[in-house]
Amino acid sequence: MLREFKAFVMRGNLLELAVAFILGVAFGRVVTSLVNDVIMPPIGLALGGVDFSNLFINLSKTRYPTLAEAQAAGAPTLNYGLFILTVLDFVIVALVVFVLVRAVNRMQRPKPVAPTTKECPYCLSIIPLKATRCPNCTSELSAA
């Protein structure tokens, strides 16, 4: 049983999946940083100095000026600003994955193969391209 488990773990597909998962997690962090630190600050500035990570609806009767203070007090909140950031993260990751899959699919398309057979003009049977006589009807064929 231990040998079977080792064979399963050491198969190429599982190792490739593990590497892809680790790279995906790292890529997700890069995208999150891109959204939070590069994309959203100019958008927030253009919208009048809005900090999307601090947009929330307070569901308690006590007023809190920031999301951090509301969460520290244990107040129930709807964090729609963080939701917007997460959706933007998802859209960017989905776009990059789409572009990557599209590029891989284009590289994997089979290239057209040169024909190796032709049709006999007399009996319409399939014969090798270099044949000079049809093996079925014995007709003499002109050189291509």
- Which distant-in-sequence residues (6+ apart) come within 8 Å of 50 by Cβ? 43, 44
33-73 pLDDT, tens digit per residue, is 988 888 888 988 898 888 888 899 999 989 999 999 999 99
CATH number at residue 16: 1.10.1200.120
pLDDT digits (tens, 9 = 90+) for 18-35: 888 998 899 889 988 988
61 and 75 in contact (C-beta within 8 Å)? no
Q: Spell 75-108 as b/e; 16+ CB within 10 A means b.
A: bebebebbebbeebbeebbeeeeeeeeeeeeeee
Find the domain containing 118 and state its range.
Answer: 114-144
pLDDT interval class at 17 (50, 70, 90): confident
Are residues 18 and 87 part of one domain?
yes
pLDDT digits over 87-142, tens only? 988 899 888 889 988 998 888 878 888 889 999 999 999 999 888 899 999 888 87
- Do 127 and 63 sit in the same domain of this protein? no
